């Protein structure tokens, strides 16, 4: 069965319309759905040798965390407190206060972390709240040894809530 001119042009138009719709639609759907399927993984950051941390004296370590949002790449400065106990256990705290996210400072005389914003006080050895408005202890981060280096899996958590909610 031979196609007349009108049928041929109708089928050609439908085929080109379908191809054009797919060429435009598939990337649009990918752009809309893709971010929902992609989870940011927590970056792993090398902190140094365990021997470089003095037992009983917390030390702040700062580093950059790179985030990508579409074509935009930004680097944010983050910090952790590394506390090595006398028994050589290493505890790593996110350096942000759990109340409003301010950076906490170490007070060597009291052996506590102090939040300068609203007076939150945390025990250095445990991270537990000793005074002030923080709703939970300092956020502990996962740390492991890797080839003589301490490596932390850095995470930020939602401030102001009693539960530890990852961002």
- Residue 134 forms part of a structural domain: yes
- Residue 165 inside a domain? The answer is no
Residues 6+ apart with CB under 8 A from 150: 46, 47, 48, 49, 50, 53, 82, 90, 92, 143, 144
Q: 33 in helix, strand or coil?
A: helix
Q: Tell me if 97 is assigned to some domain.
A: yes
CA 103 to CA 8: how far, in whole Å? Answer: 71
Q: Is residue 95 part of a domain?
A: yes
pLDDT, one tens digit per residue, over 69-99 is 778 889 999 999 999 988 889 999 999 999 9
Domains in the chain: how many in total? 2
Residue 166 domain flag: no
What residue has token string 């069965």? 1
- Residues written for the chain: 167
Q: Can you give the pTM of this predicted structure?
A: 0.74
Show the domain range for 86.
44-153
Select from 40, 141, 23, 165 the least CA-distant residue to 81: 141
């Amino acid at each position: 069965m031979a196609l007349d001119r009108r049928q041929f042009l109708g089928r050609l138009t439908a085929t080109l319309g379908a191809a054009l719709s797919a060429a435009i639609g598939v990337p649009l759907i990918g752009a809309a759905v893709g971010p929902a399927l992609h989870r940011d993984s927590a970056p792993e950051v090398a902190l140094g040798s365990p021997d470089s941390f003095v037992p009983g004296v917390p030390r702040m370590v700062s580093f950059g965390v790179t985030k990508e949002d579409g074509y935009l790449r930004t680097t944010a400065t983050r910090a952790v407190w590394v506390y090595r106990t006398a028994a050589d256990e290493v505890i790593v705290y996110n350096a942000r206060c759990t109340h409003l996210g301010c950076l906490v400072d170490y007070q060597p005389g009291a052996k506590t972390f102090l939040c300068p914003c609203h007076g939150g006080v945390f025990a250095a050895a445990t991270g537990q709240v000793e005074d002030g408005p923080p709703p939970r202890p300092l956020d502990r981060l996962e740390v492991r040894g890797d080839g003589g280096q301490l490596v932390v899996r850095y995470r930020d958590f939602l401030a102001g809530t009693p539960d530890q909610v990852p961002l």
